Amino acid sequence: MLKYNQSHKNYIILIIKTNAVYLLKRLSKYIKNLNIKKKTTIKDIANVLNISPAAVSKALHDDSRISEKTKKAVKQVAKNLNYQPNHLASALRKGKSHLVGVIVPRTNSNFFSSVIQNIEEELDKEGYNIIITQSNESYKKECRNIDTLLFTQVDGIIASMANETINLDYYEKIKSKGIPLILFDRGENDLNVDYIGINDYDSSHMIVEHLVQQGCKRIAHIGGYKRTRIFNNRIRGYIDALKKHNLSLEDELLIESNLTIEDGREKMSQLLALKNKPDAVYVAGDYAALGALQILNEQGIKIPEDIALVGFGNEPFTAMVTPSITSINQHSAEIGKQAAKTFLEHAKKSVVKQQLNKIILDAELIVRDSSNIKNS
Amino acid sequence: MLKYNQSHKNYIILIIKTNAVYLLKRLSKYIKNLNIKKKTTIKDIANVLNISPAAVSKALHDDSRISEKTKKAVKQVAKNLNYQPNHLASALRKGKSHLVGVIVPRTNSNFFSSVIQNIEEELDKEGYNIIITQSNESYKKECRNIDTLLFTQVDGIIASMANETINLDYYEKIKSKGIPLILFDRGENDLNVDYIGINDYDSSHMIVEHLVQQGCKRIAHIGGYKRTRIFNNRIRGYIDALKKHNLSLEDELLIESNLTIEDGREKMSQLLALKNKPDAVYVAGDYAALGALQILNEQGIKIPEDIALVGFGNEPFTAMVTPSITSINQHSAEIGKQAAKTFLEHAKKSVVKQQLNKIILDAELIVRDSSNIKNS
DNA sequence: CATATATGCTTAAACGTTTAAGCAAAATAA
DNA sequence: TTATTTTGCTTAAACGTTTAAGCATATATG
């Protein structure tokens, strides 16, 4: 029983029967909550229903050892009190953060943005969230990103390496911590981790084949850095495809580039300065291809009649510019999905039984105006 | 003392003096660590130095009540054992995750990607990490993103709303939880939260003024949804600027659009079907402007001589297409920085003393070929 | 000299959740 | 009937960190 006695206008005196002490304990906690306006916890639910916090936790997770009746009650109270589980606490206890780090060179490319979106969708199904970081093609930034992600206790990292990255120490660091590492697009064979990418070698073959069919005989290649696996594969594919079609490989037609717009302009100018100009240019990246296109347009060179142009990556702008640029579609959605799935496999399997996945997807050539000689 | 006795080839017998029991305890923990290969914790460091975990924690945080000698020792041991603080534990204890959620309609736009990058850089300085989520312009996805971020226990949310978003319940949910919410670009006055954006009204004035200067008399506007604040402001600016220059506002020249490429094409076609065609079109988004440009090019209409074209947002492709598109630069870097700073202010200040920031930045008109009549 | 203050630590509890272990009571099997 | 299993919970510890409170010891102050 609880007596109320307004003995003084500024005080309230409560007279509580001794056996109500336990109630008072609950009440005092409730009052505390009122003041600080704390978030409701499992304990609060437990107090309301007069069961243990453990039972509440199990009920919320549909443990088989909890009665349906209790489960229903718990869920109802949880809803009423607007209970939101504290992710940090459960992550700490379970030793899993349910966060996955993603590192990309940049997000403002359609390829990466689409990969990210698909990673996210796939992981979301299993209750994982992703933390996206951008390296801006900088090795230093990439290292900081890795540290940040490790600090945030991510359960895994999905990454595409910066152009600059040669030193793999930081990636070894991830591996040494036993955190699943999955690379996509820009990977490294030496690291010996899971990898998802397209068949760059075959893609180069497709491009050269297409250009040969269009009647081109002097096909130049503005490639990426040879030391980066994907660009090396594109170069090898280019060289082998030339051989296959009995075209000679000429040193002056094979140029290494960082594949920015600016460098695309420069390398294209370089090609135009040759005595014996090419009749086709295959650029290993769309942005550089755009730079090349600008130079060609500026110099009044007809595309594709004088020089045909092919890019790589199928960035949306390839379809927007004039003339539209033929390019390779990398199936970004599939790459993202596979990367996520590969991570999930690691997360589910025991630490011991691990095997490497190297997933190589076929790419697709999107023929546009810049190389469509016969119909132009 | 510790005696070693190889009595059996498969066993090792250790004879330990009784007073070494306490050492054994430490040793057994060490052995355990060896087997399970656990991460080193503050406790490990404490054990090595024979001090309390509390002292270690304080030493690592440069607490004034810890001697320099101890600090040095702790830091050295921490380095030796490759100690990485467990962020989850400290976040749980401190009630702060040091994570900030970011919601954008999409990341593959230069504007958003640049904003994000600057938010990240600014927050990184103060030890915050960001979790990026994309709404893909979908209200449903946006709601899920908010739930995800709240679940991850973010300390704040910086968001730009999806086009679809009209119902503000989910944003109210953030507010009601006392989590700082900062909107940028796409905001809502009704929400009454911090906002960082550009002066859309003035920007429209600048555009109209520029077109008038180029000699245009019938200026059309393909605008965004009227209900969205920024697009409404652009429309108001357009209308008022027309008045200011004594041009009549004609209903058929003011069109509402979702501002995608496709809709840009459609709305431009609609304008071209008019008996009395416009001599300039101001499109409230670059993508729709691109669609408009495609239609104009396809129909052989000269830009800017027949019809001048202006976009909004200064997406990189506006400089890439032919002719290049005049557009408004939104100072994405500054918006990102200010958004981050605004959050940090909230994070530092006490919950009680809060005041709203509405930061409106001036934008910049980048004149390109599509509206440069006099020099073309 | 006694008292006050500063220094350098320790102890113990807390953050909110999960989970191994355990214990009655109920249901089932022998 | 008794033994066994199942059901439905509780207790208590743990995850790794931080921090309020406390306690000596050393130093400063009057």
Chain B residues with CB-CB distance to A87 below 8 A: 151-153
Q: Which residue is nearest to nucleotide D9 (CA to C1')?
A: A55
How many contacts (CB atoms, under 8 Å) link A and B?
Answer: 105
Cβ within 7 Å of nucleic strand D, residues: A 50-55, 58, 64-67, 69-70, 89, 92-93, 95; B 38-39, 41-43, 53-54, 57-58, 60-61, 65, 83, 85-86, 89-90, 92-94
Quick check: B156 and B343 in contact, CB under 8 A?
Answer: yes
pLDDT of residue A148: 86
Low-confidence ranges of chain A (pLDDT < 70): 1-37, 350-354, 376
Question: Binning pLDDT at 50, 70 and 90, where does residue B356 land?
Answer: confident
Taking only the tens place, the pLDDT of each residue in B50-102 is 999 999 999 999 999 999 999 999 999 999 999 999 999 999 999 999 999 99
Interface probe, candidates B36, B39, B60, B88, chain A, greatest A C-beta count within 10 A? B88
Three-state helix/strand/coil letters over chain A: CEEEEEEECCEEEEEECHHHHHHHHHHHHHHHHHHHCCCCCHHHHHHHHCCCHHHHHHHHCCCCCCCHHHHHHHHHHHHHCCCCCCHHHHHHHHCCCCEEEEEECCCCCHHHHHHHHHHHHHHHCCCCEEEEEECCCCHHHHHHHHHHHHHCCCCEEEECCCCCCCCCHHHHHHHHCCCCEEEECCCCHHHCCEEEEECHHHHHHHHHHHHHHCCCCCEEEEECCCCCHHHHHHHHHHHHHHHHCCCCCCHHHEEECCCCHHHHHHHHHHHHCCCCCCCEEEECCHHHHHHHHHHHHHCCCCCCCCCEEECCCCCCHHHHCCCCCEEEECCHHHHHHHHHHHHHHHHHCCCCCCCCCEEEECCEEECCHHHCCCCC
pLDDT tens readout for residues B153-206: 999 999 999 988 888 899 998 988 889 999 999 987 778 899 999 999 999 999
Contacts of A120 (CB under 8 A, 6+ apart): A130, B133, B134
In chain B, residues 170-189 whose CB comes closer than 8 Å to chain A? 177-178
What local confidence, expressed as pLDDT, does residue B31 receive?
Answer: 42
Interface-testing mutation among B112, B157, B320, B325, with chain A (most A C-beta atoms within 10 A): B320
B200-330+365-371: CATH, from 3.30.300.30, 3.90.1150.10, 3.40.50.2300, 3.40.30.10? 3.40.50.2300
Instruction: Give the pLDDT confidence of B115-128 residue by residue, as tens digits.
Output: 999 999 999 999 89
Give the integer Cα–Cα distance in Å for B152 and B131: 9
pLDDT at B223 exceeding the cut of 90: yes
Domain ranges in chain B? 2-91, 97-198+332-360, 200-330+365-371
Interface residues 140-179 of B with strand C (CB < 7 Å): none
- The mean pLDDT of chain B is 87
What is the CATH topology of the domain spanning A2-91? 434 Repressor (Amino-terminal Domain) (1.10.260)
Q: Do domains B97-198+332-360 and B200-330+365-371 have the same CATH topology?
A: yes
Q: Which two tokens stand for residue A102?
A: 């993603």
Percent of chain B with pLDDT over 70: 89
Residue B110 pLDDT exceeds 90: no
Q: How much is the pLDDT for A351?
A: 53
What secondary structure letter does DSSP report for B134? E
| Tens of pLDDT, residues B241-285 | 999 999 999 999 999 999 998 999 999 999 999 999 999 999 999
Distance of A91 CA from D15 C1′ (whole Å):
9
Fold assignment, B97-198+332-360: Rossmann fold (3.40.50)
Superfamily of domain A96-197+332-360, CATH level 4: Response regulator (3.40.50.2300)
CA of B71 to C1' of C7 (A): 14
By C-alpha distance, the chain B residue nearest A129 is B148
CB pair distance less than 8 Å for B129 and A148: yes
